[in-house]
Amino acid sequence: MCGIVGILDPGREVAFDLYRAAMALQHRGQDGAGLVTFQERFYHHSDLGLLAEVFRNQDLGRFRGKMGVAHLRYATSGDGTRGECQPFMVSFPFGLSLVHNGNLTNDALQRRKLAGTGRLVNSSSDSDTILHVLAHHLAKFERTRLEPGLILDAVRATMSDLEGAYSVVVAIANHGLLAFRDPHGIRPLVMGRREQALLFASESVALETVRADLWRDVQPGEAVLVTMDGQIHARQIAEPRSAHCSFEYIYLARPESVLDGQSVSAVRERLGESLARRFDGTADVAFDVPSSAEDAAVAFAREARIPYRKGIRRNHYVARSFIAANPSLRREVAALKFHLERRVISGQRVAVVDDSIVRGTTAQALVSRLRRKGAEHVAFFSASPPVTHPCPYGVDMAIQGDLLASRLDAEGIRHTLGVDHLQYQSQEDLEAALGNRPSCTACFTGCYPTDVSPATLSQIERQRSLISGDAQGDRLERDPELSREGASC
């Protein structure tokens, strides 16, 4: 899920803009943060925690340079320690600093291949693996003048080695800023302009924060190099096979963002409207589960002709429970993150619209509190279809046994949540809301856009278990039924 930013501005130093743009992406990762700038050498700082916490005692003025990258970490691989915080750096062959959003599905294979060349990946992060693969291919030009075409040749070789989801930005010392995206474009990556500057970011909302204009998306399978003088060199490296992550539009991205040409808020409104059209019951009032379901809930209420009220309000000083590191922490966050107003709940038949039901932690806690506030009848709506399969591409849905819909049918989920009515989005309506464009819906269908073997899924589940500190990894060893086969489509 991570947030990434890269800026090259021949006319001014970039540290403050990197910080501001990264702040707009804080929702994408709360485990760690860091930034790097370059002027004759790399200036670097990263640590565990939120961006403001990591840089509270740092003087941004000391981060010199007109080129840099920044990262907000959402841990889905590695060991969750300070050493996993990006940006990652190597000094050989040219000096590289990399940020990455996504998840490799062949990380172990690439590590073995690198070891055979004498390269050691010094962390357990797959992002570090990408850096060393790129460095290995760039090293072939160590004694050559590194022209833009050679850098793009190295990206071609790198992309032929990698499998999975990756949106990457790399600062190359004395040469420029490089960005590339996997052939499926699973994770987002946009480009922006501001006078002489070129910017890359996970979402367009980061560009607006620094008064840059959205130019276009980095295309699936494309690499873009901006040299130190601002010249742009773009090349379609691999044949695009678009499969943009549908969960970006449902939950991950900010509603103000435009990703791959689609307004996130507009997609969410269409999801809410389709839920209302299929609703055959009645309700007195509609609420959203703040805040990623707000656009869907407003559209649902309008289509169903039900008053929309703010009966559930979010405590903005509590993190997103979905990306909390482990189950016990998620339960604590879910209990603290909402305030409920009895005045608009008591005695009412309430319709509650959420973006999705993944583990059910938030929904279960919320329904219980609605009952205590006097709700007479609770109808619960998910703007997404049932989440039944793990995500190997960098979203925290990697442990299948944790997914409520992988274990229970609709009636079992309704009973578990304690609701009177439960309605999911249909797969057909989801695809229509996305404009029937090629999208990754593997978490709903089990149909993965890349080759994903059962062994790969099990390995990713074990990695996620180590980060979350729960016992799921041990359960996988004992109970192979928890890891279903994944299909590639």
Give per-residue pLDDT as tens, 48-100: 999 999 999 999 999 999 999 999 998 766 566 888 899 999 998 889 999 99
Residue 461 binned pLDDT confidence (cut-offs 50, 70, 90): confident
Rg of the chain over all Cα atoms, to the nearest angstrom: 22
As a residue count, the chain comes to 489
Q: Could you tell me which residue, 489 or 123, shows the higher pLDDT?
A: 123
- The answer to the question of residue 258 being in a domain is no
Which of 242, 277, 294 is the C-terminal boundary of a domain? 242
Q: Is it the case that residue 479 has pLDDT exceeding 70?
A: no
Q: What is the pLDDT of residue 92?
A: 84
Report the 10 Å Cβ neighbour count for 234. Answer: 16
Same domain, 218 and 361: no
What is the percent of the chain where pLDDT is above 90? 79
**pLDDT, average across residues 392-421:** 90
Identity of the amino acid at 141: F
Same domain, 183 and 42: yes
Residue 390 binned pLDDT confidence (cut-offs 50, 70, 90): very high
**pLDDT, average across residues 28-47:** 96
Same domain, 210 and 279: no
**pLDDT, average across residues 395-418:** 90
Report the SS3 class of residue 412: helix
Q: Is it the case that residue 117 has pLDDT exceeding 50?
A: yes
What's the CA gap between 401 and 391, in Å, rounded?
A: 12
Helices (H), 252-372: 264-278, 294-304, 327-336, 361-372
Same domain, 283 and 206: no
Residue 394 binned pLDDT confidence (cut-offs 50, 70, 90): confident
pTM of the model: 0.90
Range of the domain at 200: 3-242
The predicted-structure confidence for 232-273, as pLDDT tens digits, reads as follows 999 999 999 999 999 999 999 999 999 999 999 999 999 999
List the catalytic residue out of 2, 85, 245, 391.
2
- The answer to the question of residue 335 being in a domain is yes
What's the CA gap between 220 and 242, in Å, rounded?
A: 6
- The answer to the question of residue 251 being in a domain is no
Non-local CB neighbours of 240 within 8 Å, separated by 6+ positions? 183, 185, 219, 220, 221, 222
Q: Are 191 and 216 in contact (CB under 8 A)?
A: yes
Buried b (16+ CB within 10 A) or exposed e, 308-318: bbebbebeeee
Q: Is it the case that residue 333 has pLDDT exceeding 90?
A: no
Q: Is the peptide bond before 291 cis (omega within 30 degrees of 0)?
A: yes
CA geometry: angle 224, 163, 389, nearest 5 deg = 120
Residue 465 binned pLDDT confidence (cut-offs 50, 70, 90): low
Task: Look at phi and psi of residue 195 and say left if phi exceeds 0, alpha if psi is from -120 to 50, else beta.
Answer: left
Which of 208, 242, 276 is the C-terminal boundary of a domain? 242
**pLDDT, average across residues 283-289:** 97
Q: Residue written as tokens 């966050």?
A: 333
Q: Is it the case that residue 11 has pLDDT exceeding 60?
A: yes
**Can you give the CATH number for the domain in which 364 is found?**
3.40.50.2020
Per the structure block, which two tokens stand in for 185? Answer: 């474009």
**489 catalytic residue (yes or no):** no
Same domain, 232 and 347: no
Same domain, 233 and 294: no
Residue 402 binned pLDDT confidence (cut-offs 50, 70, 90): confident
What's the CA gap between 377 and 279, in Å, rounded?
A: 15
Same domain, 314 and 438: yes
- The answer to the question of residue 95 being in a domain is yes
Cα torsion through 264, 266, 267, 269, rounded to 10: 120
Number of domains making up the chain? 2
Same domain, 188 and 285: no
Residue 462 binned pLDDT confidence (cut-offs 50, 70, 90): confident
**pLDDT, average across residues 293-317:** 95
